[in-house]
Homo-oligomer: A and B are copies of this chain.
Amino acid sequence: MQVVTENNSFTVTWKGEEILHHSPDAPFLFVGKGQENVKMFRGNFDIKDYVTERLALPFIQVRNESDSIKIDFASYPNGPSVVTVQLVQKENEVKLVFVKATENINRFWLRLKANKEENVYGCGEQLTHFNMRGKNFPLWTSEPGVGRNKSTYVTWQSDVTGMAGGDYYHTNYPQPTFVSSRKYYCHVETTAYADFDFRNDSFHELQIWEMPKEVVLEGANDFLGLLEKITDRFGRQPELPEWTYNGIWLGIQGGTEVVEEKLEKALAKGVKVGGVWCQDWQGIRMTSFGKRLMWNWQWNPEVYPNLDTKIHEWKEKGIRFLGYINPYVAVEGNLFATAKERGYLALNEENEVYLVDFGEFYCGVVDFTNPEATEWYKTVIQDNLIGFGLDGWMADFGEYLPTDVKLHSGEDPMEMHNAWPTMWAKVNYEAVEESGKLGEVVYFMRAGYTGIQKYNTLLWGGDQSVDFTLDDGLASVIPAALSAGMLGNGLHHSDIGGYTSLFGNKRNEELLLRWTELGAFTPVMRSHEGNRPYDCFQFDDTERSLDQLAKMTTVYTTLASYTKSLVKQNAEKGTPVQRPLFMHYENDEATYDIQYQYLYGKDLLVAPVYDEGVTTWDVYLPEDEWIHVWSGKEYAGGNITVEAPIGEPPVFYRKDSEWADLFGKLKEIK
C-alpha cells in the first residue's frame, strides 16, 4: 500500500488505484455537531439526528515525524487545526490514527475514493444486501425487524403495533468494517453509532458519531488472503466439537418427556441427531407474542424433571443437551435478586435498577462494565450451565442496551450499546475457556460487533419470519452467512424452519422441508419450533417431513469429513465455510452480485430453493467442471435450469475435487 503526501494533498493507493485521496476540492474529512434522538421499544430503535453543523476540512498541514506522518486538518486556509490524524504505514496496511479533535465535535464523515464498478461487502451480518453498493447502512445493533420490507403486511403490522417492522439494514450484528472488491478492507475502530454510505459513484462516506480511534486500510492479493488478514485482526472461531457432526440439534420444548418422545420418534425414522436443544430448560412463560422463556438461568425441574440424570444418559447415546441463556435476568428470579443486592445491574437516572421491557416482562441488565458483575455471570454459566452438563447453548440477545442507562464504568451508553454483543460473547468465551471446554462446548449468538469473531463459537442468523420472503424469510440467511463470513465469521447457521410467526404468518410444511435442505449445507443443522409452536408446522408432523429430515441429516453426516476440513480451515486461516462465488472465481464479474448461492468450501456450489411451489431452479455456475449431485449430470458453467424437487436441492461439485468420491455418494441417500 502506497502513501504519497504533498503540500496540500495526500493519497493512499492499493494495486495502483487510489483508495483514499485528499485535496482541497475533494476533502477526506468533514466534522460537525449533531443531536441524536433515540427511541427504543423492545430492541427496536428509531434514531434521528439533527446535524447543526457540518464543516469540510479541506486544508491540511503535513508534518513528517520520525516513524509516522501527522496531518492537521483545518476548515479554512491557515485556520487552526480542527482534527489531527497520524498516518502509520506497515506493509500492506495504512492506519489513520485520530490523535485529537476540537472539543464539541461529535460527528465525523470520512470519504474514501470509490469507482463505479466497485462492490462492497461486510458491515457485519447483512440480511438483505450482500453487495452494499447503492445503499447506506446505519450500523447499530438491534432487533433485525419482522418483515423488513415496508410493502408487506407483516412489516406494516409490526411497525404499527411495536415499531418492529425493520428495514433492509437492521441487523443484530453490525460492524464498521467493509471489504471492497478492489481487494482491500476498511475498518473503523469505534463503537459509536455509524452509517456507511455506499450510494455515491466516486466515494464511500463513513459517518461516525464520535472521533474514531483509527481507520485501518489493508490489502491482499486475493480474497482468501484478505480473509486471513481480517481474521488476524479480529480473531477466529475454534473448531466445532466433534459431536456436532453426529447430526442435527433438534429444537424441542415442553419438558423431559416430550423431548424423549420426539427424539425417539426422530431416531426411529433414521434422523441423525447430534443433540437436543431445549430453550425452555430453565422454564417458560406465555405472552401475546408466543411462548417465551423464564430468564432465570438454571435448571427448572418442574418443566424438566430428572434432567440431571437424563442429560448424562443422552450423552452416552451420542445425544448432547443444549440450553439457552442471555445477558438479562428477569425480575421474578433469584439471579435478579442476587445481582440487584450486589449492585451488578445497570441503573436508571434515579439510581434504581434499570428495567428493560422485553415484551410483557421486565429484566435487569447485567452490567458488564463492572468486572465483578462479569465474573459473577461467568460463574452462572460455569455452575448452572456447564456444571449441570450442558454442551451448548444459545447465547441470545445483547442488542438491547438502552441509551439512557447508567453504567458502572461511567461510560456513555451511546458508545457502549454497540460494544455490548462482543462483551457478552467474551463472557461466554471466558466461562468456557476457563472451564477447559473450548472445542467441546459450543454456544451460538445472533448479536455481534467488532471482535465477535474471536469470542463467539458459532453465529446464527437470528429470527427469520416463517416464510419464503426474500427480506425476512429463508433466502435472507444466505446473504447473512456470506456477509458475516467476509468479516471472518466463518461458521454460520440458521433456525431450520425460521422463528417468527405473527399476524397470521404461519410456517407450512414446504418451508420446513426447503429450510432443512439449506441446513444440510451449513456447518451446523439446528431446528426451531418457532415462537408459536402450535401455529407452525413441526418436523415430526408428517412422515414426509421426518423422511426429509432423515435424508438431509444423512447428507450432513455423510459430508462430515469435508465439512470438518472447512471448519479447520476457518479456524486456521479465517476462510469461511460458506463463501461467495467470487472468492474462488474472482475473474467472473457475474459472481459479484450473486447473494442467494454460495460455495460450500471450494468444491461444492449450493443454490438453495427459496421459493414456494417450484420444482425446477435457475442456477448460475462459474466456468469450471461441475457435476449435479443428484443426477450426476455435468455442466461447464453459465446459466442453467435444473430439476429441484423436495429432497434434491440444487447442489454441484467440482469434478476434479479431491472429495469427488464422497460427493458422489450423496445421490445414493434415500
Chain A interface (Cβ < 8 Å from any Cβ of B): 30, 32, 51-56, 75-76, 79, 150-151, 156, 159-160
Contacts and interface: CB of A to CB of B under 8 A. Distances in A.
A55 B52 contact: no
A72 to B, nearest CB: 16
Contacts of A53: 30, 54-56
B76 A54 contact: no
Contacts of A150: 159-160
Nearest to A160: B151
A156 B157 CA distance: 10
A515 B258 CA distance: 62
20 contacts: A30-B52, A30-B53, A32-B54, A51-B51, A51-B54, A52-B54, A52-B56, A53-B54, A53-B55, A53-B56, A54-B54, A55-B55, A75-B75, A75-B76, A76-B76, A76-B79, A150-B159, A150-B160, A151-B160, A156-B156
Contacts of A151: 160
Contacts of A30: 52-53
Given A53-B56, A75-B76, A150-B159, 6 more contacts: A32-B54, A51-B51, A53-B54, A55-B55, A76-B76, A156-B156
A80 to B, nearest CB: 9
Q: Among the interface residues A51, A79, A160, which one has the most CB atoms of the partner chain B within 10 A?
A: A160
A159 to B, nearest CB: 7
A165 to B, nearest CB: 10
A338 B349 CA distance: 72
A605 to B, nearest CB: 36
Contacts of A76: 75-76, 79
Contacts of A159: 150
A137 to B, nearest CB: 15
A76 B159 CA distance: 45
A56 B52 CA distance: 8
A159 B53 CA distance: 33
A325 to B, nearest CB: 36
Nearest to A76: B76
A202 to B, nearest CB: 13
A273 to B, nearest CB: 44
A150 B53 CA distance: 31
Nearest to A199: B50
Please list the 6 inter-chain residue pairs (A to B) with the smallest Cβ-Cβ separation, ordered nearest first: A54-B54, A151-B160, A156-B156, A53-B56, A53-B54, A76-B76
A30 B150 CA distance: 35
A512 to B, nearest CB: 29
A53 B75 CA distance: 11
A30 B52 CA distance: 8
A94 B30 CA distance: 36
A388 to B, nearest CB: 46
